[in-house]
Amino acid sequence: YEMAGVTPKDIDVAEIHDCFTIAEMMAYENLGFAKPGEGKELIKSKETYKEGSIPVNVDGGLLSKGHPIGATGGSQIRTIVLQLRNEAGDMQVKDPEIGLVHNIGGVGLYGNVTILGR
């Protein structure tokens, strides 16, 4: 966030590595979208839905794409670029300016976060 000059509250749409449900909820907490132990509350309150305060994986996430190992990051970046260009069709979030991509690999051995702006 520091390098991009933004905070978690500035993120309008996100693609989170959701290889397992628990990984997605833990990412919410690690990325500052939720306090520790409260990641599930974002889902319960529908804040991660397309109309929510932090739309996440509005394209269905990695599992809906068959988790394309090796192409995961490219797929996530594409989704956010389409969002920022307002070209996401039925999945479009309203007027996003800043998008975030979170990706991990090797069972958490490495990870990266990419923040893109319009």
pLDDT in tens, the chain (118 residues): 999 999 999 999 999 999 888 889 999 999 999 999 999 999 999 999 999 999 999 999 988 888 777 788 899 999 999 999 999 999 999 999 999 999 988 766 788 999 999 9
Torsion on CA atoms 22, 95, 83, 105, rounded to nearest 10: -30
Fold of the domain built from segment(s) 8-45+53-117? Peroxisomal Thiolase; Chain A, domain 1 (3.40.47)
Beta bridge partners of 116: 99
CB distance 117 to 98 below 8 Å: yes
**Against a cut of 0.95, is the pTM above it?**
no
Residue 118 to residue 109: CA distance in whole angstroms: 30
Show the DSSP H helices in the chain as ranges: 21-30, 39-44, 61-64, 72-84
Beta bridge partners of 114: 101
